[in-house]
Amino acid sequence: MKTIHQKANDRAATGNSAPAAFASLAAELRGDFLWGVATSAFQLEGSSHADWSSWEEILNTKPEVTNHYELYREDLALLKKLGVNAYRFSIEWSRIQPRENIWDEKAVEHYQEIIDILRRDGIEPMVTLHHFTHPLWFSRKYPWHEDGSVEKFLAYVEKALSILSGVRYWITFNEPYVLVLAGYFEGCTPPGIKSVPLGIRALTNILKAHGAAYDMIHARYPDARVSVAHNMAALAPWKKWNPLDRLLARIAKYFYNHSLLDAFLTGRLRLNLPFHKEQEIAVPIQGKLDFLGVNYYTRIHMRFNPLKKKGVEMRHLDIDGHGLTDMGWEIHPRGLEKVLRYASRLGVPLIITENGIATRDSQEKIRFMKKHIDVVEHCLRQGMDIRGYFYWSLIDNYEWLQGLDARFGLYKVDFDTLKRTPTNAAAYYSYLIKNRRF
């Protein structure tokens, strides 16, 4: 099998993207384009053993959730109603391994039941092994910058693989860069460390863990399709005429969007961060990617501001008039094309593993979805190899630093009664899927 590096070279040599175009359009015509929704376990279920639970106490916010751990059957029935053919969800490590030496196999079986229900309903499961949260014991004893972290994570993967079956699509890590930026550079999420060198060490270990988990999944399931879900943003200078803003945007774009893709191509991680001694770190992930999961939400403008920390200011500006979401994020559908175009260089199929909007206004949600799916259609016609689109999220859920105010769901949740009510956006998505839009 050719590595993605070889494939990227072949494509560059022939300049030919036609096979990819045929593959993705054919997938759409055959009906195996993945139309899905995405969720994560902690955001729906919580877990008293997760590091985030103790973080919530520190933040003094209530660990409220949607009670999905009990109501999963009803929620899975919503997928059928929507008519999606794929569902991305995560399994919660802290439920499966609540203490270092204690495994709760019942928890894995719970997730297996979800997979069985999905298979019964003809819905392709995509399982995320790590979506931001860790068991508390792991965070305390082996946070990612510690060497023992990789081994501990792999023991969890081994346990999950020994019990779970019927899964073809795997995401090892959701948004590894967000995890490291928030947990280590900013220190605003667990483990709450403010250190760039430790953050880089954590990222290196996470990528090592991805490489090893990729091999373990393939050893057990040769046909598996394995990736990370990489958060990519459109990054632009605040003032185009200002060379310092332009420089900052270039640095941010390389670090945030591209350095990971280069590491998959070359096995070398280079971050090109200013104020930091440049290192090139070997990471054993070259070619260890069967598709790329892209999470896309917004555009960020970069400004050089000497009054800010390290001179960096980041803003969401409503430049094109598409508006800002309830997260304060700019709606910028064209940015999706830009990141997909760049990601296409990898030479593996792309799947949009998350795209969504926080708003209480259904019409706004519909407009957001339509504009972004129009971009996906345009990209397919341009010959990009895109195999799926997952809307974030199925139901309203717990949004990390914003709690319950950010309403991403196609189904609205009343957090007092736990009642789920379809928004008009749910009907729109169903309509779109049924009428095979492309």
The region that residue 147 occupies, defined by phi over 0 for left and psi between -120 and 50 for alpha, beta otherwise, is: alpha
392: contact with ligand IFM by CB under 6 A: yes
97 versus 174: smaller Cβ distance to ligand IFM: 174
Contact string (CB under 6 A) for ligand IFM, positions 19-58, x = contact: ---------------------x--x---------------
131 versus 201: smaller Cβ distance to ligand IFM: 131
Residues 6+ apart with CB under 8 A from 365: 357, 359, 410, 423, 424, 425
Give the residue among 189, 358, 343 at the shortest CA–CA distance from 258: 343
Q: How far is the CB of 189 from ligand IFM (least distance, A)?
A: 11
24 versus 90: smaller Cβ distance to ligand IFM: 90
20 versus 294: smaller Cβ distance to ligand IFM: 294
As given in the structure block, the two tokens for residue 292 are 């790329």
Q: How far is the CB of 43 from ligand IFM (least distance, A)?
A: 6
- In SS3 terms, 101-117 reads as CECCHHHHHHHHHHHHH
Q: Please answer whether residues 397 and 413 qualify as being in contact, where contact means their C-beta atoms are separated by less than 8 angstroms.
A: yes
CA of 10: how far to CAs of 191, 268, 288, in Å? 42, 20, 18
Among 175, 245, 337, 396, binds ligand IFM (CB under 6 A): 175
257 versus 295: smaller Cβ distance to ligand IFM: 295
Identity at 189, one-letter amino acid code = T
Among 103, 192, 399, 418, binds ligand IFM (CB under 6 A): 399
As given in the structure block, the two tokens for residue 304 are 């050089």
Q: Please answer whether residues 179 and 193 qualify as being in contact, where contact means their C-beta atoms are separated by less than 8 angstroms.
A: no
Q: How far is the CB of 133 from ligand IFM (least distance, A)?
A: 10
Q: How far is the CB of 80 from ligand IFM (least distance, A)?
A: 23
67-73 contact pairs (CB < 8 A, 24+):
67/418, 68/39, 68/44, 68/395, 69/44, 69/45, 69/110, 71/418, 72/110, 72/113, 72/114, 73/117
295: contact with ligand IFM by CB under 6 A: yes
Q: How far is the CB of 68 from ligand IFM (least distance, A)?
A: 14
294 versus 379: smaller Cβ distance to ligand IFM: 294
Q: Please answer whether residues 109 and 103 qualify as being in contact, where contact means their C-beta atoms are separated by less than 8 angstroms.
A: no
262: contact with ligand IFM by CB under 6 A: no
Side-chain-side CA neighbours of 216 within 13 Å: the count stands at 21
Q: How far is the CB of 412 from ligand IFM (least distance, A)?
A: 16
Which residues, numbered 341-360, are part of the site for ligand IFM (CB under 6 A)?
Answer: 354
Q: Residues binding ligand IFM: what is the number (CB under 6 A)?
A: 8
> What residues line the site for ligand IFM (CB under 6 A)?
40, 43, 174-175, 295, 354, 392, 399
